[in-house]
């Protein structure tokens, strides 16, 4: 299963690779990273978007935020699963994410075991 993780914080890449090291090592998943909404859309356009099963995106990012990214992904890749991740427990973000078609909404700190279970169950 191929996952695209979108977050402007560079240390997120290390954190996800560490938390999913067993699944990465045994080939259950592969991860790609983008550091902005714009970079994520460019990645999807330039790579085999059909091979991406899930996008995990932060909401608060400079430039195109995660909600704008979600809306664009659902318009162009309607079958792609998108999980929104935010540090802010904000009802407006939640409602907008649901309106735009997010498949799940997670708050930080991320419960990585719960996230693994959701990702692997949907594979």
Indicate the pLDDT class of residue 5, thresholds 50, 70 and 90.
very high
d(CA 30, CA 5): 11
Domain that holds residue 92: 2-122
> Is the pLDDT score of 123 beyond 70?
no
Please give the C-alpha separations between residue 106 and each of 20, 26, 59, 67, in angstroms, as whole numbers. Answer: 17, 26, 10, 13
Question: The tokens 């690779």 sit on which residue?
Answer: 17
pLDDT in tens, 29-73: 999 999 999 999 999 999 999 999 999 999 999 999 999 999 999
User: What does the pLDDT read at residue 88?
Assistant: 84
| pTM for the structure as a whole | 0.95
What CATH number is given to the structural domain containing 15?
A: 3.40.50.2300
DSSP 8-state class, residue 104: E
Determine contact, residues 40/92, Cβ cutoff 8 Å.
no
Indicate the pLDDT class of residue 122, thresholds 50, 70 and 90.
confident
User: What does the pLDDT read at residue 20?
Assistant: 97
Output the six-digit token pair for 84. 């929104």
- If one counts the domains in the chain, the total is 1
pLDDT in tens, 80-116: 999 999 998 789 999 999 999 999 999 999 999 999 9
Output the six-digit token pair for 53. 């099963």
């Amino acid at each position: 299963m191929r996952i695209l993780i979108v977050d402007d914080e560079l240390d997120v890449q290390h954190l996800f690779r560490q938390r999913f090291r067993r699944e990465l090592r045994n080939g259950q998943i592969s991860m790609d990273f983008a550091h902005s909404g714009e970079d994520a859309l460019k990645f999807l356009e330039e790579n085999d978007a059909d091979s991406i099963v899930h996008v995990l995106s932060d909401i608060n990012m400079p430039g195109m935020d995660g909600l704008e990214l979600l809306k664009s992904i659902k318009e162009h890749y309607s079958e792609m699963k998108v999980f929104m991740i935010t540090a802010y427990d904000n009802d407006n973000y939640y409602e907008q994410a649901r309106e735009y078609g997010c498949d799940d909404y997670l708050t930080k700190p991320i419960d990585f075991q719960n996230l693994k279970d959701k990702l692997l169950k949907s594979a």
